Structure 1
Amino acid sequence: FDHVSTAQNYPSPHKPYTPAKTAKTELKHWRSREAQLYLMIVNYLIELQDYPGATRAMQTLLRIHPDDVNVLAGMGRLYLQLGNIDAANQTFRQVEATIDRWEHEVEPEVQGAVDAEGIKAARETVVMNRAFTAMAAGNWEQAKSILVQALERNSENLVVSGVVSLVKKLYWDQLCDEHSR
Structure 2
Amino acid sequence: MTRYTRSQILMTPSDHILELINLWYARLLALVKLGQYEMAQAELDQLGDLHGPQYRYENYAPDSFAVQGVQSIEQPQGDGIRRGCMVPFEMLVLRARLQGYLGDTYEAIDQLYDLIMRSKKFEAICQVNDDLLGIKQWQDIAGQLHLMVLNYLVELKDYPAATKHARDLSKKYPLDVNFQSGLGRLYLQLGDLVRAEEVFKEVETMVKSHRSEAEQAHFRLQLTMNQALLAVTQGQWLSAKAAFEEVLAQEPENLAATNNLAVCELYAGQLNEAIPRVEKLMFAYPTSAGTSEPLVFNMATLYELRTEGSFRKKQQVMVEVSKWAGDQFNVAMFKI
TM-score when scaled to structure 1?
Answer: 0.72
Selected match of 1:119 from 216, 220, 234: 216
Whole-angstrom CA distance in 1 between matches of 2:168 and 2:145: 12
Q: Does 1:172 align with 2:269?
A: no
Question: Whose relative contact order is higher, 1 or 2, with alpha carbons under 8 Å and at least 6 apart?
Answer: 1
Selected match of 1:151 from 248, 271, 278: 248
Whole-angstrom CA distance in 2 between matches of 1:130 and 1:166: 12
What are the superposed Cα offsets for residues 36-91 of structure 1, whole Å, 9 maximum, x if unpaired? 11111111111110001001111111111000000000000000011111111111
Contact in 1 for aligned 2:232/2:240 (Cα 8 Å): yes
Q: Does 1:5 align with 2:69?
A: yes
> What is aligned with 2:172?
64
Selected match of 2:208 from 84, 90, 100: 100
> What is aligned with 2:324?
none
Whole-angstrom CA distance in 2 between matches of 1:140 and 1:22: 51
Whole-angstrom CA distance in 1 between matches of 2:70 and 2:235: 48
Deviation at 1:164, TM superposition (A): 3.2
Q: Does 1:30 align with 2:138?
A: yes
> What is aligned with 1:109?
none
Contact in 2 for aligned 1:144/1:164 (Cα 8 Å): no
> What is aligned with 1:131?
228
Residues 61 and 174 of structure 1: is their aligned pair in 2 closer, same or farther, counting only changes over 3 Å? same
What are the superposed Cα offsets for residues 81-119 of structure 1, whole Å, 9 maximum, x if unpaired? 11111111111111111111134xx3xxxxxxxx71x32
SS at match of 1:175: coil
Unaligned 5+ segments in structure 2 are: 1-67, 72-125, 271-336
> What is aligned with 1:50?
158
The one-letter code of the counterpart of 2:229 is F
Contact in 2 for aligned 1:102/1:119 (Cα 8 Å): no
Indicate the structure (1 or 2) with the bigger Cα radius of gyration. 2
Contact in 2 for aligned 1:140/1:170 (Cα 8 Å): yes
Residues 34 and 150 of structure 1: is their aligned pair in 2 closer, same or farther, counting only changes over 3 Å? same
- Tell me the matched-pair count: 150
> What is aligned with 1:82?
190
Residues 173 and 94 of structure 1: is their aligned pair in 2 closer, same or farther, counting only changes over 3 Å? closer
Whole-angstrom CA distance in 2 between matches of 1:173 and 1:101: 36
Deviation at 1:120, TM superposition (A): 1.6
Unaligned 5+ segments in structure 1 are: 8-18, 107-114, 177-181
> What is aligned with 1:39?
147
RMSD: 2.8
Whole-angstrom CA distance in 1 between matches of 2:263 and 2:222: 22
Whole-angstrom CA distance in 2 between matches of 1:27 and 1:162: 32
